[in-house]
């Protein structure tokens, strides 16, 4: 493990600090209380949400909304971080402490939305969440932007919701929940979502979550430990959905659509790009739509940094970013306040060139989400 605290650190000259930069956090999580969502949900689902609100919540684990089987053996101590934020003011205070200027908000429980089995309830949850986020968070604090959630169980309704908020700058992307997804995001079933997103200028962001769920690409019920499940859930989910989207030519069929991948680190990106390029040589006729190597298409996608890799040699992160043009395509993301968040100071402190650091810490995200960069 590379550590941040080293006796070899020295001062010397006025160096750019984190506070000097425009820092955008591409992935921050708000906590959606089911009782609050009930106020924004169409009947009769408001009744169900009030019932769910009576159940004691566990971390990202709530019957009906985030149906995650708990698999940790409950010894005391250890990895028990359970931080949540429940108001815009509380969140703004937390982000100030992290030196984050602007943040894009993703949900807590609705990370598991793809696993909700009743499609009508899933749709209701997404619509209610977007209303709730808009009123309670986004209009409260202009430095907080929203990811508009769609339920993959009902892409038509998702497209309607995207158009409902068209032109309102409070939402800066569409969130595609990927954990436990039954049909990967390359399927034409989701074309209405991509049409609406491209039409309204919103990028789409794929974000998974750790869950034991017997759906490809997971099959994580085979593993015994959280170490295994958490290590694999995020990157495998990104890899599967990215390949699916390339296979059906989503980035070609919707050339205006910007596509981002969140919370899987970035080490998988060069691996996958090289692997697909190798296949492309032999099997181009299967994907004639692509017209270029997969790696070139992948260089137009954006990637959240978190959980940033922590090799023993910190400079290896810089080398790894060069392999996928991370200088221009990587967006700092903290995942705060979740258990595995990255502190911006840590990513800032990696040995990137100053210009690359400015882009990674905020300017790339501003370009992706369409945010104004101050001064």
Partner 1 sequence: MAREHVIGRVGDLPEGHHRVVRAANRELGVFNIRGSFHALPNLCPHQRGPLCEGGVSGTIDYGPHTDWKLAWIWEGEVVTCPWHSLEFHIPTGQCVAFNDIRLRTYEVRVAEGELRVVI
In the complex, the residues that contact partner 1 under the rule CB under 8 A are: 1, 3-5, 75-81, 339-343, 345-346
Shortest Å, Cβ 341 to partner 1 = 7
Contact 248, 287 (CB under 8 A): no
Shortest Å, Cβ 335 to partner 1 = 11
Could you tell me the CA-to-CA distances from 314 to 3, 150, 169, 331, 340 in Å, in that order?
A: 9, 37, 37, 18, 19
Q: Toward partner 1, which CB reaches closer, 207 or 230?
A: 230
- Of 81, 127, 92, nearest to 107 by C-alpha is 127
Sorted by sequence, the CB contacts under 8 Å of residue 263 that are 6+ apart come out as 27, 207, 208, 209, 234, 304, 306, 307, 333, 335
Q: Toward partner 1, which CB reaches closer, 230 or 258?
A: 230
Shortest Å, Cβ 255 to partner 1 = 39
Shortest Å, Cβ 177 to partner 1 = 25
Q: How many CA atoms lie within 13 A of 203 on its CB side?
A: 23
Residue 318 CA to residue 2 CA, distance in Å, equals 14
Shortest Å, Cβ 317 to partner 1 = 14
Q: Toward partner 1, which CB reaches closer, 32 or 342?
A: 342
* Phi, psi torsion values for 104, nearest 5 degrees: -110, 130
Q: Toward partner 1, which CB reaches closer, 5 or 281?
A: 5
Q: Toward partner 1, which CB reaches closer, 30 or 308?
A: 308
Shortest Å, Cβ 357 to partner 1 = 17
> Two tokens at 56?
């004691």
Shortest Å, Cβ 33 to partner 1 = 23
In the block, tokens 């599967």 appear at: 240
Q: Toward partner 1, which CB reaches closer, 15 or 54?
A: 15
Residue 345 CA to residue 342 CA, distance in Å, equals 8
- Of 61, 25, 83, nearest to 226 by C-alpha is 61
| Count of beta carbons in the 10 Å neighbourhood of residue 215 | 17
Q: Toward partner 1, which CB reaches closer, 258 or 357?
A: 357
Q: Toward partner 1, which CB reaches closer, 80 or 291?
A: 80
Residue 140 CA to residue 88 CA, distance in Å, equals 7
Shortest Å, Cβ 108 to partner 1 = 18
């Amino acid at each position: 493990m590379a550590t941040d605290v080293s006796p070899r650190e020295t001062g010397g000259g006025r160096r750019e600090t984190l506070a000097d930069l425009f820092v955008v956090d591409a992935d921050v999580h708000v906590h959606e209380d089911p009782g609050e969502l009930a106020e924004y949900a169409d009947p009769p689902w408001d009744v169900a949400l009030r019932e769910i609100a009576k159940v004691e919540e566990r971390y990202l684990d709530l019957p009906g909304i985030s149906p995650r089987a708990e698999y940790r053996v409950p010894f005391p101590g250890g990895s028990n971080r359970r931080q949540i934020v429940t108001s815009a003011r509380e969140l703004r205070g937390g982000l100030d402490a992290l030196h984050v200027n602007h943040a894009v908000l993703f949900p807590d429980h609705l990370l598991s939305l793809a696993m909700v089995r009743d499609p009508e309830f899933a749709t209701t949850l997404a619509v209610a969440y977007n209303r709730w986020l808009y009123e309670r968070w986004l209009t409260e604090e202009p430095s907080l932007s929203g990811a508009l959630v769609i339920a993959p169980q009902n892409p038509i309704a998702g497209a309607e919701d995207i158009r409902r908020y068209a032109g309102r700058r409070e939402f800066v992307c569409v969130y595609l929940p990927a954990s436990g997804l039954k049909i990967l995001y390359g399927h034409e079933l989701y074309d209405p979502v991509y049409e609406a997103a491209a039409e309204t200028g919103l990028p789409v962001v794929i974000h998974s979550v750790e869950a034991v769920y017997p759906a490809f690409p997971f099959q994580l019920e085979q593993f015994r430990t959280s170490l295994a499940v958490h290590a694999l859930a995020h990157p495998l989910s990104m890899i599967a959905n990215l390949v699916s989207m390339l296979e059906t030519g989503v980035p070609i069929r919707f050339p205006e659509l910007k596509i981002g991948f969140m919370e899987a680190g970035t080490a998988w990106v060069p691996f996958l790009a090289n692997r697909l390029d190798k296949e492309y040589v032999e099997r181009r006729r299967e994907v004639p739509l692509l017209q270029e190597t997969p790696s070139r298409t992948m260089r137009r996608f954006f990637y959240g940094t978190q959980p940033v890799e922590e090799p023993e040699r910190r400079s290896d992160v810089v080398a790894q970013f060069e392999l996928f043009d991370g200088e221009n395509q990587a967006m700092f993301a903290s995942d705060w306040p979740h258990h595995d968040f990255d502190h911006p100071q840590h990513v800032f402190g990696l040995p990137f060139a100053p210009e690359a650091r400015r882009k990674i810490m905020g300017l790339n995200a501003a370009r992706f989400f369409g945010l104004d960069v101050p001064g």
